[in-house]
Structure 1
Amino acid sequence: MKTKRIFGFFALLLIFGASFAMGISAAKDHIVDDGYGIGDVAADFSLKNVDGKMVSLSDYANAKGFLVIFTCNTCPYAKAYEDRIIALDKKYKSKGVPVIAINPNTKSGDGFAEMQERAKEKGFTYPYLHDEGQKVYPQYGATKTPHVFLLEKTQTGNVVRYIGAIDDNYQDASQVDEKFVENAVDALLAGKEINPNTTKAIGCGIK
């Protein structure tokens, strides 16, 4: 009788151990990647632009880098920055660092047709891409709209050099003290260190 009880005890231990190991394995399978950090090489993508054409970073043969900006139609923060994003593209596209805007949202008002309407209404000078299936923004680790990733085009790929906010005042462009993105791009083009190379993105959470 005692032998049976001991055997049963060890059997329970084995079952518990197996269940625990399976739980650890399942937990590992559900770990979410935090996205790119400074110095990481960002993978290329192919996303549909509002003109219906597919756009990839590799399409820009003469680019020195990219301002990949996750934004959308509906977020008040994103709307407040639209004119500044247009200005960034106007200033830096001719210098080899174009804006590539990506809408990662799936909520009402952020569909492809609405994106086309917004791009036409505002006169976007840059690609406004639809992250269909929300496959690209998790790779970058974008969490807000807007959220900026400055990439430098190198022989080893598109290296992340700055992550964060556009500037320090989303409410009023005339009251900005620090132009984080402009300072970062200027430093990149001058071959200087970017400082700061990360800031906190301020905006709406991606839906």
Structure 2
Amino acid sequence: MKKLLPFLASLLLLAVLSSYTRPLAGYQIGDKAADFKLKNVDGKMVSLAGNKAAKGYIVVFTCNTCPYAKAYEQRIMDLHTKYAAQGYPVVAINPNDPAVAPGDAFAEMQKRAKDKKYAFPYLQDETQEVARQFGATRTPHLYVLTRQGSGFVVSYIGAIDDNSEDAKLVKTKYLENAMTEIMAGKPASVNSTKAVGCTIKWKKA
């Protein structure tokens, strides 16, 4: 019986782990990002290729419900205000399964975008395919894409800055430092940082 218990525990753990769809390895710096089409809160479909004037994008995987996402919400809005006019608009994507997090349902996304007056698209990744493709694991999780020919390559992955609780206590603005170099035509000297936030709520298999 003693030998059987560890075996049964292992089977149970395997069953729990296999019940969720896990992200793929995802993009690395320099990878070309595949285009996607996702539904915006206004009901229209949005793609990377749809904005011909974009020099790149700040793609943010975020949501309504995560405390970290809420803490970073104003900073994400400020990033769009600062960089959209320079050709790098924010595109926010909610990858959470509303069956797991009801507060991330499409109607709730619409309400949040309206209440907060989002000036950027807020897209629903209903199948979670885009999050898996990018390799996103957290909310928020950021990817800077830079135009290369007709497509976009990944130039930065990770966090906005070094303080997930209070914007006033930030010492290092990882994303803004990277953007300064990227917009100057240089590779970001720090192109990858650890995303800090809630784990994405994956669909059950």
TM-score by length of 1: 0.83
Structure 1 residue 159 displacement after superposition: 0.3
May I ask how many residue pairs the two structures share in their alignment? 178
Matched with 1:59 is 50
| Partner in structure 2 of residue 202 of structure 1 | 196
Paired position in structure 2 for 1:100: 91
C-alpha distance in structure 1 between counterparts of 2:131 and 2:81, whole Å:
24
Say which of 27, 41, 47 aligns to 1:36: 27
In structure 1, C-alpha distance between the alignment counterparts of 2:193 and 2:123, rounded to whole Å: 24
Larger relative contact order (Cα-Cα within 8 Å, sequence gap ≥ 6) = 2
2:180 pairs, out of 171, 175, 186, with: 186
Please give the per-residue CA displacement for 1:157-191, whole angstroms capped at 9, x wherever unaligned.
Answer: 21000000010001111111111111111111111
Instruction: Give 1:31 deviation, angstroms.
Output: 9.8
Aligned twin of 2:77: 86
Q: Aligned Cα RMSD in Å? A: 1.4
Larger radius of gyration: 1
Q: Which amino acid aligns with 2:146?
A: E
Residue 33 of structure 1 deviates from its aligned partner by: 3.0
What does the per-residue CA deviation read over 1:109-128, in whole Å, with 9 as the maximum and x for residues that have no partner? 00000000010111111000
Q: 1:111 to 1:31 in 2, by over 3 A?
A: closer
**After TM superposition, where is structure 1 displaced by more than 6 Å over at least 4 residues in a row?**
none
Structure with greater proportional helix content:
1
Secondary structure of the residue that 1:109 maps to in structure 2? helix
Give the corresponding residue for 1:111: 105
Give 1:134 shift: 1.0
Return closer, same or farther for 1:62/1:32 CA change in 2, 3 Å cut-off: closer
State, as a whole percentage, how many aligned pairs show the same letter: 59
Aligned position for 1:21: none
Q: Are positions 1:161 and 2:155 aligned together?
A: yes
Give the TM-score normalised by the residue count of structure 2.
0.84
TM superposition shift of 1:205 = 0.1
Tell me, which stretches of 5 or more residues in structure 1 are unaligned? Answer: 1-29
Change over 3 Å in CA distance of 1:50–1:31 after alignment to 2: closer
Distance 1:31 1:59 in 2: 29
| C-alpha distance in structure 2 between counterparts of 1:134 and 1:54, whole Å | 16
Q: Is residue 150 from structure 1 mapped to residue 175 from structure 2 by the alignment?
A: no
